[in-house]
Amino acid sequence: MTLRQPVDSPARAEPRPPPPSVPLWGQLFALDDSTGLPLQSRLRLKIVQVILDGRLAAGASLPSSRQLAQALDLSRNTVTAVYQQLMDEGFIDSRARAGVFVASGARPASIDAAVAVPDKPEAVEPRDPPHAPQPWARRVLRSLRATPTLSKPPQWRRFAYPFVYGTHDAELFPTEDFRECCLRSLARSQLPNWTPDFETDDAPDLIEQIRTRLLPNRGVFVRPEEILVTVGAQHAFYLLAEALFDRDTRVGFEEPGYPHARNAFSLRTSRLVGIPVDDEGLVVDALLPLDYVFVTPSHQSPTTHTLSLARRQSLLRQADSRDFAVIEDDYEAANLYVGAPTPALKSLDRSGRVIYIGSLSKSVAPALRLGYIVAHPELIAELRLLRHAMVRHPSAFLQHTYALFLSLGHHDSHSRRVNQVLMARMEAALAAMQRELPSFRCTRAQGGASLWVETPAWLDGAALALQARRHGVLIEPGDVFFARPPSPCNFFRLRLSSIDMAQIEPGIRALRDAVHEMAAAAGANISS
Q: What is the pLDDT of residues 413-440, one digit of tens each?
A: 888 888 888 899 999 999 999 999 999 9
| 49-53, 109-113, 137-141: segment of lowest average pLDDT | 109-113
Residue 11 lies in a domain: no
pLDDT confidence of 337, banded at 50, 70, 90? low
Which residues, at least 6 apart from 313, have a Cβ–Cβ distance to it below 8 Å? 348
Amino acid found at 390:
M
Do 245 and 217 belong together in one domain? yes
| 59-68, 73-82, 107-116: segment of lowest average pLDDT | 107-116
- Among 408, 438, 468, the domain-final residue is 408
CA distances to 132, 136, 209 from 128, in Å = 6, 13, 56
pLDDT confidence of 125, banded at 50, 70, 90? low
Residue 182 lies in a domain: no
Task: State residue 220's pLDDT score.
Answer: 93
Do 283 and 196 belong together in one domain? yes
Q: Which domain does 32 fall in, by range?
A: 22-109
CA distance 453 to 383: 38
Task: State residue 138's pLDDT score.
Answer: 58
Higher per-residue pLDDT: 518 or 334: 518
Q: Strands of 92-95's sheet, edge to edge? A: 61-62, 99-102, 92-95
Do 67 and 166 belong together in one domain? no
Question: Collapsing DSSP states into helix, strand and coil, what is residue 71?
Answer: helix
The helix or strand, by DSSP H or E, that contains position 505, with its residue range, turns out to be: helix 501-522
Residue 385 lies in a domain: yes
Residue 248 lies in a domain: yes
Task: State residue 75's pLDDT score.
Answer: 92
- Among 387, 408, 429, the domain-final residue is 408
Residue 14 lies in a domain: no
Do 312 and 360 belong together in one domain? yes
pLDDT digits (tens, 9 = 90+) for 376-416: 999 999 999 999 999 899 999 999 999 999 888 888 888 88
Residue 139 lies in a domain: no
Count of structural domains within the chain: 3
Do 329 and 477 belong together in one domain? no
Do 299 and 244 belong together in one domain? yes
Which residues, at least 6 apart from 148, have a Cβ–Cβ distance to it below 8 Å? 259, 479, 480
Mean pLDDT computed over every residue of the chain: 86
Q: How far is CA 417 from the centre of its chain?
A: 20
Do 245 and 280 belong together in one domain? yes
Do 392 and 458 belong together in one domain? no
CB atoms within 10 A of CB 183: 12
Q: Indicate the pTM of the whole model.
A: 0.80
- Among 369, 387, 408, the domain-final residue is 408
Do 215 and 313 belong together in one domain? yes
Do 420 and 400 belong together in one domain? no
CA distance 332 to 204: 24
Task: State residue 343's pLDDT score.
Answer: 83
Share of the chain above pLDDT 70, in %: 87
Residue 141 lies in a domain: no
What's the CATH number where 428 sits? 3.90.1150.10
Task: State residue 111's pLDDT score.
Answer: 46
Do 266 and 316 belong together in one domain? yes
Do 230 and 96 belong together in one domain? no
CB atoms within 10 A of CB 141: 5
pLDDT confidence of 236, banded at 50, 70, 90? very high
What's the CATH number where 294 sits? 3.40.640.10
Is beta strand 250-255 parallel, antiparallel or unpaired with respect to 292-295?
parallel
Task: State residue 124's pLDDT score.
Answer: 47
pLDDT confidence of 135, banded at 50, 70, 90? low
Residue 149 lies in a domain: no
Please provide residue 494's backbone torsions phi and psi, each rounded to the nearest 5 degrees: -105, 120
User: Span 259-285, mean pLDDT?
Assistant: 94
pLDDT confidence of 16, banded at 50, 70, 90? very low
What's the CATH number where 88 sits? 1.10.10.10
